[in-house]
Every structure is written in C-alpha cells, then in structure tokens.
Structure 1
Amino acid sequence: MVPGQYDRAEKMVELVHGVSGFHPTYRAFHAVGDIYRGTFTPIPEAKQFTRAMHFQQAVPMTVRFSGGGGNPDAPPSTTADMACKFYFPTGRVTGLISLNADTFVAQNVGQVVGFVDATEPDPETGEKDDAKAMAYISSIPTMTSALALRKKIPAPVSFAKTAYHAIHAFRFVNASGNVRRQACLPTGHLPCRSPVFQSCPPRRQ
C-alpha cells in the first residue's frame, strides 16, 4: 500500500462493520469460507506470458473459497470468491484474489470507501438511505454498469464448479495491445445453483 492507504483500509473496515455488523472472529468481507491446501501446477505455455515463479514450476498453495458479505448469519449471496496464496521455494508468498464476476464495482480504494459509506444505515434510524446510495452510484458510470451486471450473475452451484476472474490486477497484454485478465475455469463448471440451496442458512466456519 502507498502512504495513506492504511488509514483508508481501517476506515473501510469500520464502514463495512456499520453495514454488516461486527462479528468477532469473522472477517469484515467474505466472512464465511473454507480453506484448502494443494499444489499449483502451471501449463508449459504459461512461461511465454510471465516470469512469475509459480508459472515456471509447481508450487504449494492454499485456497480459500468464500461467499460475499460480512454477516456470517445472512443467507448465501450470488457472490463467490477464490483467494489463493502461492508459496515459493525462496520463502516468498504471493496472492491472487478472484471473483465469480468479470468486473468489479470500484476502480480504486476511494470508490470502495465511498460506496460502503453511501450504503451504510443511518446510525439513528438504522435504515438505509436509498436516495443517498443511488446518488453516489449514479455519479460513477462504471460502478452503475458493474452493479447492473452483478444482478445478472447466477448463484454458483458450488465453489469447485464456478468460474473465477482475477479482475483486480494481473492482466496480460500482447504485442497488439490486446488485454486479457487471468481467469480460472474449473472442468465442468456450472453457472448457477438451485434456489432452494440459495435460501439455505450459511455454514459458520
């Protein structure tokens, strides 16, 4: 982080707690999830695109699959997240966060803070100010479009059969200037899940 981002990160967590509530032992974002351990093995062609160590050889990794939101007692949402950590022989660790959406609602930390602030309930009434939220969202065309696309995303049938997109960073640009972002497409991935499953209570993990 650059100077000042630590303060904004703390402010953002405070705002999220204002929206989702404070739940001890749970994360502010993506509160409910499961962690797995495995090995990441890149395909041989990966070396053509990057010098990153985990694209040169197989390395140990951990993966945390989680749902969206910061309230562990809330019903499951359509958002799914895959957070990976790659452990290099040198002792260094790198990470990659992916979502089941091909676009993100904000383009920088300031917009995230502004969005959460606009959707936070009034401290006196406990009610959300829809007019305030819509005014902020409407002022940022990219956010308006991203949220409209989010509404069309079907809920995942399972974490293991969901496509994830690394929409925050790590893009590849070829000689022609075409841009591609990293994505994980599991074999036999399914786009949606049963409405009955979507209404089931979340697991507390």
Structure 2
Amino acid sequence: MRDRFGRYRQPAGFALIGVIIAGVVVAFAATAGWLTPSRLSGADVVDALEQHNGAHPGFRRAHQKGVCVVGHFDSNGQGQALSKAGVFVPGRTPVFGRFALAVGTPYSPDGVPAPRSLALNLTQADGDVWRMAMNHVPLFPVGTVRDFVALQQATAPIPDTGKPDPARLAAFMAAHPEARAFGALMKSTPTPSSFANGSYYSINAFRFVDAGGRSQVVRWSLAPEAAFAALDRSRFGALNAQDPDFLFNDLLTRLQAGPQRWHLLITLAEPGDRSDNATVQWPATRTQVDVGTLVIDRAALEENGPCRDVTFDPLVLPAGIAASDDPLLSARSAAYAVSLRRRSGEPPQPSALARDGAVPTPMEPRR
C-alpha cells in the first residue's frame, strides 16, 4: 500500500517478525565479524543477518530504521590529559550522525524492546575523523564472531511459525550465559522514553594515547542533559497504534524546541578490567572524566542527510585513539564495509520514515 506521500509501505505487523524473542531483542547486529578466531568473513556475517532479517535492498543490513542528525562537539579540554586527539583540544568539532533502532526491518514500529543506537562522525580541524557506534545498553550479548552468527541462526524465524525454533533457541541460551545475562539486563533496565533522554555506550573498549605515548584503556558513554523518563513497555502496542514513528517524532519535536545535549564521559579501566570482551561490564566505581558536550541541533532523512552512505566503522580513529584487543572491533569494521558495498549496488531507497526532504518539524504518523 502507499502512504500519504505516495511511497509504498510495508504493513507494520511484518516488522515484528523475529524481533522479540522472550522479551529479548534478536536483531542485535551492532557488531559482526571476520576472520580470526572463527575464520568467518564479513560477507559470512552479513549473509547471516540477511537470512535472519529478510531482504531489504537499498537499506543497511542492521539498524535499518534511522534518521540523520547534525551538530557539534564542544571540548572542555579535560580529555587532553588522556589523549592527543585533536577533538579534545578546547573548542568545537563538527559532528553528524544517526539515531536508529536495532531492528531487522526498516518498517518496524518504534514500540519494540530493541536497543536504541547512536552513531557519530567527528571531523577534527586537521581532517582526522573519529567514528563511533553506540547502543543504549552498556554491553553486548556475545563476545565472539562465531557466537554472533550462531545467535542469528538460533533466533531466525522459521516458516511454519514465523518465530525461532524453540529447541534451537533454548540450546543456544543454555550454552551462552553471557547472552542470558544480556537478556536479563534488557528486561530489568528501564527503556528510555526518547532518543534524547537515553545514555549511549561504546560497548567495546579502546585505548587512549596521550602526547607522551602513555596508553590508557577506556570505554566511553554519552549522558543526556534531558531528564530521564521510562517507557511503559506494556503500552508498546497502544503507542504503535497511535504513531509507529513515535520515537523519531519525539526527537524531532525536541529538536524543534532546541538543541539536545549529552556529556561525553570517558571511563578509565583499572588493572584486571577486561578489554577484550564486550559482554563484561567494568565496576561502577571506575573513574569517569567529562571531556565535553555533544550538541545535536537538527535532523534530516537519510535520502538527503549526511549519514546515508557512511559506515560508522569503529576503527576509523584519529591519532590518539586506538583499538583495544577486542576481536569484535575488526569484526564490525569488516561487516560494515560489506553492508555498504552491497547496498551501494542496489537501487537507493528513501528513508523508511514518513516525511519528505529535510525534517525541521515533527514527522507525521503514517496513514
């Protein structure tokens, strides 16, 4: 069927297939993998995502439903003691990025128990670029590439029911306590009511290198200035019926009222903290340094926004920021490249959101 703007729309109900498994998101897909230690290629992982999520030519293979955003980062200078990266010199760095839902279809309604994501591109004055891809949950359900592919296979809907095979899913969860821990965290952690009032986490560890060559293992997060409010998950169905794009419309309503801000917090690892496993959280007592403020002041649909043909590859890093020994970092880099290459060879699709052109005002619900 067509929407009010003349675009073909897929019925929203199809978007739920394979998204909710016992209250835990199955389309995690913020990472994927390649080569060692599992000898899987980026193409193998993207194949697994496509088999799980179905075919959506022209869209990203994960986190398909999203919107571009534009703003800047104001450094307060506190990061210079940790890293020689130019982004931490006091002053302003231009930013663009993308808010998205970690779902497997671009037509999912917003009321699903899925992680929200924020990806950013910061371009320093010297031309160096820092890209990051963050989720609103602080850890990942699996720690290896092979387990990520196995997760996609275990949660893939089967033709008979449109749901995962119960025995296969149960076997996977029984063998992966880290995935059970992630599911418990997703269920117990309040879901932010807005993209604007949620925190976002790097998930993986990185290394900051200062001007003297000293290296410090870190993770980072963005803490919102907007007051937190939780969504009532029991009302997801009602919210979807009222407006299946309610999260995106809320973001744009807020941006119409004024810029939205987050503080960039750098968490410093201590001896014994794991840097190679994204399923393991560090103690809450670790030192955090507020290094500046992210300011988002406008949004645009992907067909004409700056984020459309960009991979938010976490290994695109400026001097002063380096990868840790977490194998999922090279995994993400390889799979993102494959995803971009495939969708670049397909007819470009308009944004899955129901609004033409740039978006200075709230998007209207689909009819």
TM over 0.5: yes
Range class of TM-score, shorter chain = 0.7 to 0.9
Mapped to 2, the partners of 1:73 and 1:40 lie a distance apart of 31
Mapped to 2, the partners of 1:2 and 1:98 lie a distance apart of 17
Q: How many residues align?
A: 200
Query: What is aligned with 2:43?
Result: 10
Query: What is aligned with 1:73?
Result: 107
Query: What is aligned with 2:184?
Result: 148
CA deviation profile, 1:86-112 (whole Å, cap 9, x unmatched): 112333322111111121112132221
Classify 1:95/1:128 alpha carbon distance in 2 versus 1 (closer, same or farther; 3 Å): same
Secondary structure at the aligned position of 2:224 is classed as coil
User: Radius of gyration: which is bigger?
Assistant: 2
Query: What is aligned with 1:193?
Result: 231
Mapped to 1, the partners of 2:66 and 2:33 lie a distance apart of 29
Of 97, 100, 114, which residue of structure 2 is paired with 1:63?
A: 97
- Report which stretch shifted further, 2-11 or 83-92: 2-11
CA deviation profile, 1:122-144 (whole Å, cap 9, x unmatched): 46775521211221122122222
CA deviation profile, 1:61-90 (whole Å, cap 9, x unmatched): 112111111212222223210001111233
Classify 1:136/1:171 alpha carbon distance in 2 versus 1 (closer, same or farther; 3 Å): farther
Mapped to 1, the partners of 2:87 and 2:73 lie a distance apart of 7
Mapped to 2, the partners of 1:62 and 1:8 lie a distance apart of 29
**Are 2:86 and 1:50 aligned?**
no
Residues 63 and 101 of structure 2 are in contact (CA less than 8 Å); yes or no, is this contact kept in structure 1?
A: yes
Secondary structure at the aligned position of 1:182 is classed as strand
Of 121, 130, 137, which residue of structure 1 is paired with 2:157?
A: 121
Mapped to 2, the partners of 1:3 and 1:9 lie a distance apart of 5
Alignment of 1:123-142 (within 5 A): 127-142=163-178
Secondary structure at the aligned position of 2:188 is classed as coil
Secondary structure at the aligned position of 1:160 is classed as coil
Mapped to 2, the partners of 1:104 and 1:141 lie a distance apart of 12
Residue type at the aligned position of 1:39: H
CA deviation profile, 1:28-68 (whole Å, cap 9, x unmatched): 11111111111111222122222222122432111211111
Structure 2: gaps spanning 5 or more residues: 1-31, 209-215, 249-351, 354-367
Deviation of the 1:9 alpha carbon: 2.2
Structure 1: gaps spanning 5 or more residues: 173-177
Query: What is aligned with 1:36?
Result: 69
Deviation of the 1:156 alpha carbon: 2.3
**Are 2:196 and 1:160 aligned?**
yes
Identity percentage of aligned residues: 25
Residues 65 and 80 of structure 1 are in contact (CA less than 8 Å); yes or no, is this contact kept in structure 2?
A: yes
Mapped to 2, the partners of 1:19 and 1:141 lie a distance apart of 22
Residue type at the aligned position of 1:201: P
Classify 1:201/1:134 alpha carbon distance in 2 versus 1 (closer, same or farther; 3 Å): same
Query: What is aligned with 2:272?
Result: none
Classify 1:3/1:87 alpha carbon distance in 2 versus 1 (closer, same or farther; 3 Å): same
Query: What is aligned with 2:58?
Result: 25
Of 66, 86, 89, which residue of structure 1 is paired with 2:125?
A: 89
Structure with more relative contact order (C-alpha pairs < 8 Å, separation 6 or more):
2
Residue type at the aligned position of 1:40: F
> Scaled by the length of structure 2, what TM-score is found?
0.49
> Scaled by the length of structure 1, what TM-score is found?
0.83
